[in-house]
Amino acid sequence: MNLNGNLIIGLKEEAGSEKEVSAKNPSTNDTLSPGYKGATAKQLEHACDLANNAFYKYKNTSFEDRAKFLDTIAEEIEAVKETLLKITPEETGLPEARITGETGRTVGQLRMFAEFIRNSKHTDATIDEALPDRQPLPRPDLRLRNVAIGPVAVFGASNFPLAFSVAGGDTAAALAAGCPVIVKAHSSHPRTSEIIGRCIQNAVKKNNLPDGTFSLLFGSGNIVGQGLVKNKYIKAVGFTGSRNGGLQIVKTAQSRNEPIPVYAEMSSINPVFVFNSVLENPDKFIEGFLVSLQMGAGQFCTNPGLIITKNSKNYENFKSKLAGKIKEQNSQTMLSNVIAKAYEEGVSKFKSKNNITLVGEGKKNGNANQCIPHLFETSANEFKKDQELSDEIFGSTSLIIKCENDQDFNEIAKKIEGQLTISFHSNNVEEVSEEFVSLIEDRAGRIIYNQFPTGVEVCHAMVHGGPFPATSDTRTTSVGSKAIFRFLRPVSYQNIPKELLPKELV
């Protein structure tokens, strides 16, 4: 496949003319070709116009035709797997095994949504038949179903070049719902984005879907990002990224003449609570924790950034063993020099603080943009006083909070911000109170017992979301079949003749 750096606007390709972005090999900082010039405001408006024009026809495609479209995207991606295994590691530093796994996840979630809509599970069809003889007043015939919300803007994520990017979960859910999609490609992996964008474009053509069902735009700055959110035809936004970026999008969306929902997954430090029974023999916990901490150089939104435990007789041994293992860990290449710089700044800030202590630091290899794992320690009192200790450090760094008693332990559970996940480990369920479980339930989208947060299963029971600031809308998920409901709205049909009703309500 020859990469040309063009925008994909509906069924055509065009060269942009705004500021160019280029991928860089994070291991060497070498610039990779081609360059990708950003979309102009006129090109963005054209993509949005096409999406709006496509909406009526696309939302009214049969569920089977829409499912075939999703299946075709999956087939197109599988056909370029070997190209992805060559291109994507070059611009992300991720190993081939990770790309293989992420490709499988991407096509898997497309097929999951295809099956979900084939079974009409997304419509939530509900029928309350008329009760003409009801007293004191009759009830009319009422029938409800979910319908597509409109064209959707999706922002590609930096840390998942496939599963959370051009054909990732947001795009799959929106297309399954019947919404045309315009994706803003992430500038750290534009070549991968172009490959996947062409896969979707090919699938649109093969399924004879309307021009404007899908577009892919490149560009840095505000022209594309803010322009998409401001455009009157965009009815919802999917975003995965930093808290600052997410909040800017939310602010723009709420300031429109017609405010629209933003489903932003932003920041999470995924606390891990460790009860005393685990400290007695911590080897199994430490082994699992290190795998989770080091997975993908810690560049997962579910990376475990906090360990909360109690100052028991076994605490010092636990800390010493964990610190010793951290010191044995090698650094890994991060996704980009921007992310690596932010990680170094976060670690340096922690090192400069007087209220925390560095207890373990890994080894650095000779490559560029390295994530060296770190382990810090602080007390419960210091954590409660210093809000900055709750800041996410995006990489393989974790902070131990040493609690002096049960009260400290539960107060930390009350203090922590909203999270994607909260885990707790215990070898004796009697030491875990109902109060504690209730506390963490209020602060996370997924609570985990004796396992670790990295690894998000794509299935019907998964919630990958959580209270603010983990996400901008705590009621939703960005992973699993329930993600489709972000891009649907309910419509009630009252006293409508059966000949005019949608078939799922007849």
Catalytic residue list = 265, 301
Adjacent-strand bridge partners of 9: 12, 215
Task: Identify whether the C-beta of residue 356 lies closer than 8 Å to the C-beta of residue 397.
Answer: no
Closest CA to 423 of 451, 465, 390, 395: 451
Distance, CA of 75 to chain centre: 23
Task: Identify whether the C-beta of residue 177 lies closer than 8 Å to the C-beta of residue 148.
Answer: yes
Task: Identify whether the C-beta of residue 131 lies closer than 8 Å to the C-beta of residue 139.
Answer: yes
Question: Taking the CA atoms of the chain, what radius of gyration do you get in angstroms?
Answer: 24
SS (H, E, C) 217-267: ECCCCHHHHHHHHHCCCCCEEEEECCHHHHHHHHHHHHHCCCCCCEEEECC
- Residue 294 vs residues 90, 95, 173, 291, 408: alpha-carbon distances, Å: 20, 14, 30, 5, 28
Question: How far, in Å, CA of 184 to CA of 165, rounded?
Answer: 9
> Residue 111: how many CB atoms within 10 A of its CB?
18
Distance, CA of 387 to chain centre: 24
> Residue 5: how many CB atoms within 10 A of its CB?
19
The strand pair at 126-128 and 142-148 is best described as: antiparallel
260-275 in b/e form (b: 16+ CB < 10 A) is: bbbbbbbbbbbbbbbb
Task: Identify whether the C-beta of residue 389 lies closer than 8 Å to the C-beta of residue 378.
Answer: yes
Question: How far, in Å, CA of 153 to CA of 279, rounded?
Answer: 47
Residue 40 per-residue DSSP state: P
> Where is 282: in which H helix or E strand?
none
- Polymer length in residues for the chain: 506
User: Could you tell me the two tokens for 439?
Assistant: 């506390």
